[in-house]
Amino acid sequence: MIVRYAPALTLAFLCSLRTSLPTHAWLPVVPWGSRRPRQRATPTIPGVPWFPSILTLQTTSTPTTTDAPVLSLFNSKTRAKEPFRPVRADTNVVSMYTCGPTVYDFAHVGNFRAFLTYDVLKRVLRYLGYHVTHVCNLTDVDDKIIQRANEQKIDHVQTLTRRYEQHFRDDLQALNIQPACQYPRATEHIDDMMDLIRVLRDKELAYETPDGSWYFRTQAQPRYGTQLVQLNYQEMAQTERGESDDKEHFADFCLWKAFKTGVDRMDAAWESNDIALGRPGWHLECSAMARHFFGDDTIDLHGGGIDLKFPHHENEIAQSEGATGNVFCNCWFHNGFVNMDNEKMSKSLGNFLTLRGACPTPDDVRAYRYLAVSSQYRQALAFTPQAMTAARNAIARMDKIKNQLEECTRVNGASVVDETTDSELPTVARTALENFEVAICDDLSMPRASAALFSLVKAAEGELKRVNKVSDDEVSLDYTGLRRILDAMKQMDQVFGIFYRVPVSEEEETAQEEALVIPDDVVELVERRTAAKEAKDWELADALRSQVTELGYAVKDVKGEDPIVTQL
């Protein structure tokens, strides 16, 4: 007999000592599920065919405290922690732009710390009642993309980029990251980029070089190099090699790269009547796409890894503010690196691990999510076997207590909650939620939020042990208190996002289905063995079983039914 799930006998007995609580409806922020459907629904958001409508993801929670704490965030621009005030506070809508991947390879676990940081911030905002309009770009034209496509002799660059877009989407879902409202591809906004170049040209902030490239005139933008960083021009002049001898100033950066025969490809090049054949510079992409989706208005939030402060984000500010005359973004947030062996994880350094390589099992994936989201996002995160083991153990402990509490609810789902109880557990739950909300509002202090979550775990464990140690049948569990603990855990999970099933990607699902197909020669041996058993030829039946085993399969006899064949 295969036992799929068997709660501890002691717990089942304790839960049945008295009837308890009615079940409480609770919907997770994103649907749980073990696998994705093969047929995707008709897109409800233009440009995002692989994710559900954002309307289904605007789940919010009313903060527990009467005087809800005010969200404060560290603003990389002011170098200080500030109260978060949306530009459009009257509508409760927050605009958020974040930098996405360059899709020429699998993203590594260091990359995913940024996407998990975006996720935590977005979940916190939604928890506090905000509606978040989130745009995250996909860079699908780049030097590395062209080089990789050439190395692999791929006929069209898009074949490469779409493949790794899909892997990126699968990894986002595996990590339970709430999708952005839009994931625009750079190649779909070339016209927007050309228009932005023209605006900058007309304001004398952009100039063309003889080869047809375009550069941003940094010396015409007085605050360039002082917004997110403090550039040392003297030091920069000594080390800057420059992209072109035709640049007016060594700090000028490229907006448009002219086509170079032998380097570029025609399937990754564009032109217009006033802009020569070529492709966009990396920095131009984000400014143009942010402008496309948010117009010339100031964006509330813009984020990325700390390595994007300069040159990428500093250059974005110069382009966008030069074009519009408005402040580009009110609050900039940047996450710290993921370090391996005390060194930044990076593809350029060759010391990186993909999510699939570092986290081969669903438990590993959830452990990495917890490791990342429970850290202080601005600090470096050490990715070590010890850290992952601790995260796995933490997840297992939380899963165990949550399953025990839900089992109590299932067994005792018909009674009424006792609101007059003098139990300490409801107070513990309320205090934990208050501490949790203070923590998440204090620049996403997730280590303190984790402490609040584990105070619930410890309280529930203590209650179960209390009754388990007593032999008196009249002593029963505090069901009201445990219900409050469970509700508080689930409410906190609207931010943590750790209680979910890791979905199976289409690639993995296909491999699993192929693995379930029993080869014909194995089927024939099993049928011959069944016939031998019916003829009571036990020696032949045993010999045939041995042959099946040698082929990597096991046979299990089931009384009155066909035998079950499984792969070893």
Is residue 417 over pLDDT 90? Answer: no
Entry field: residues in the chain: 568
pLDDT of residue 29: 32
Is 448 within 8 Å of 506 (Cβ atoms)? no
Is residue 16 over pLDDT 70? Answer: no
Eight-state DSSP code of residue 108: B
CB-based contacts of 503: which residues, under 8 Å, 6+ apart?
33, 34, 35, 36, 173, 174
pLDDT of residue 515: 57
Is 86 within 8 Å of 78 (Cβ atoms)? no
Is residue 3 over pLDDT 50? Answer: no
Question: Helix and strand tally (H, E) in the chain?
Answer: 17, 15
Please give the Cα distance from 501 to 390 (Å, whole number): 20
Is residue 415 over pLDDT 70? Answer: no
pLDDT of residue 62: 56
Please give the Cα distance from 499 to 176 (Å, whole number): 9
DSSP code per residue over 218-270: GGGSTTTTSSSS---HHHHHHH---S-TT-SSTT-EEEEEEP-TTT--GGG-B
Please give the Cα distance from 227 to 317 (Å, whole number): 8
**Residue 148: helix, strand or coil by DSSP?**
helix
CB-based contacts of 276: which residues, under 8 Å, 6+ apart?
208, 211, 212, 213, 256, 258, 259
pLDDT digits (tens, 9 = 90+) for 116-125: 999 999 999 9
The residue behind tokens 């380097």 is 263
Is 74 within 8 Å of 81 (Cβ atoms)? yes
pLDDT, greater one: 559 or 126: 126
Is residue 48 over pLDDT 50? Answer: no
Split at pLDDT 50, 70, 90, the class of 455 is very high
Closest CA to 214 of 193, 191, 197, 202: 197
CB-based contacts of 427: which residues, under 8 Å, 6+ apart?
none
pLDDT of residue 470: 60
pLDDT of residue 4: 27
Q: What is the mean pLDDT of the chain?
A: 85
pLDDT of residue 508: 60
pLDDT digits (tens, 9 = 90+) for 275-313: 999 999 999 999 999 999 999 999 999 999 999 999 999
pLDDT, greater one: 9 or 517: 517
Is 366 within 8 Å of 493 (Cβ atoms)? no
pLDDT of residue 46: 36
Split at pLDDT 50, 70, 90, the class of 563 is confident
pLDDT of residue 496: 98
Among 230-234, 270-274, 503-507, top mean pLDDT goes to 270-274
pLDDT of residue 539: 87
Eight-state DSSP code of residue 40: P
Distance of alpha carbon 514 from the chain centroid: 29
Is 545 within 8 Å of 564 (Cβ atoms)? no
The percentage of residues in the chain with a pLDDT greater than 70, rounded to a whole number, is 81
pLDDT of residue 556: 83
Determine which of 127-136, 137-146, 555-564 has the lowest per-residue pLDDT on average: 555-564
Q: Kind and range of the H or E element at 344?
A: strand 343-344
Split at pLDDT 50, 70, 90, the class of 17 is very low
What pTM does this model have? 0.79
Q: What is the largest CA-CA distance in the chain?
A: 94
The residue behind tokens 């390589």 is 357
Closest CA to 317 of 339, 286, 345, 348: 286
The percentage of residues in the chain with a pLDDT greater than 90, rounded to a whole number, is 66
Determine which of 235-244, 344-353, 436-445 has the lowest per-residue pLDDT on average: 235-244
Is residue 26 over pLDDT 60? Answer: no
Is residue 191 over pLDDT 90? Answer: yes
Which alpha helices (DSSP H) does 3-151 contain, by range?
Answer: 9-15, 109-127, 143-151
Q: Is the link from the previous residue into 311 a cis peptide, with omega within 30 of 0? A: yes
pLDDT of residue 411: 67
Domains, the chain, ranges and CATH?
9-26+384-496 (no CATH), 66-348 (3.40.50.620), 518-567 (no CATH)
Q: Dihedrals φ, ψ of 538, to 5°?
A: -65, -35
Q: Dihedrals φ, ψ of 494, to 5°?
A: -60, -25
Is residue 445 over pLDDT 70? Answer: yes
pLDDT of residue 414: 36
HEC assignment per residue over 286-324: HHHHHHHHHCCCCEEEEEEEHHHHHHHHHHHHHHHHHHH
* Lookup: tokens for 365: 């994936």
Is 309 within 8 Å of 76 (Cβ atoms)? yes
Q: Dihedrals φ, ψ of 208, to 5°?
A: -100, 140
pLDDT of residue 542: 87
Mean pLDDT of all residues in 65-80? 87
pLDDT digits (tens, 9 = 90+) for 354-380: 999 999 999 999 999 999 999 999 999
pLDDT of residue 233: 85
Split at pLDDT 50, 70, 90, the class of 506 is low
pLDDT digits (tens, 9 = 90+) for 239-267: 665 556 789 999 999 999 999 999 999 99
